[in-house]
A and B are shown apart, each in its own frame.
Chain A
């Protein structure tokens, strides 16, 4: 084959295919995994590590795992992987704690109701989101309280010491967020106030609670709270934990809301004053609706943090999801399956936190429109 020099008229050069090693799978591999010596060695090393660790982990988790069976004998087989029978046999306890079995429909109804109420919030064309949101924040907790705790409408009382598991985790974090939101808003407004005493009281409150670990707050509310009130005031253990969490969380909430207040241009405040609106009217009608919309992702993020932090209540003797798994681990009938318990708890927490954080990111992208400057 002879090589000829071809000449083309100006502008008539045909398009050639890109070199084969820059397209397709090979091109992708060269570009993303093997560009240069260092990267090649690094890629091979990482693949080697994955090859060593991932297949055994996968086998342990799924392939060799024992999925059912009422006692530990089913798991004492040669070569058996994870013993999910342990989780299976205690599942309802992990979800509801010591809640009476025949009354489980009550927390279930409360949960389903919440899910049903939340669905329209994700529908784009639904126009009453603010009203529904208000309903969920204000009315729903009351309904849920009467459903889960009982005490009227012919429902028997279930004492809070029977509550536990994932239900308690959700109750604690839900109450923590809902109750700390209004307090947080007031504190954030106080911190931006021009009245020196109001401002300094808010700053001291916020900085104090943000400066101490939640665990000391819980200790304090369980040890010191009974001392603070006149004798005869009896505090439920759960209520004490809730008060501690709300005080702690409202400080964080205040900082999130303050971020939103600062993001609103000064012109909005001035325009509201120019229209002759009073302080509360200008805040309630002009500034806060815009600011709160901006900080919804921030609120979701503090909710995630709180959701993870509720595990600390086990230290003051409440049985949230982690505590109840910890207790099940020390049960002599199922000794030696700690890892399974922790993996289960971790995956439950992970599913909740990961989906919420994805939601918060999506929301941020959606809401971050009018205020980009």
Chain B
């Protein structure tokens, strides 16, 4: 009787663990309406997400999105189909460098360009790249330059408002409805083999979905 109860209890606990694991999914955050038309995604990239947003992995690199004036830890974004999406990314992390310098060119954005701190560019030095925002299926590849290593007031943990950062802006047009995966192409996962473990292999940090609805 005692053994049976213990086995049943362990079974319930295992089932509960699996259920919690299987249902723990980042929340989807919708883009807001842009004053200039279309929709607006406001994102930030941080070198360490911090204990406030990720108690289990506070030192993991991550994206966040601004929703209702607050930074939210999610990488699933909803944008309208057949429309223009304006993206602003506040980039707080230092450079790592691209594994493939080809990704140093801005691709798939309106005009094939982006602005970095107000300056329009169509490519950046691959070695100065900190992250990318790339949606391969939509042909979008945007390299994000890093904050210089010697910068004062570098961000330690998210949220990083007020810390040294780069501001990247670009726009892209969505097409038909669908779910498209997006990812960072920089091996930015510190402490992992090839820099592509941990936050690069876990949904909710350096990759996610773009839900076009």
A and B together in one complex: no
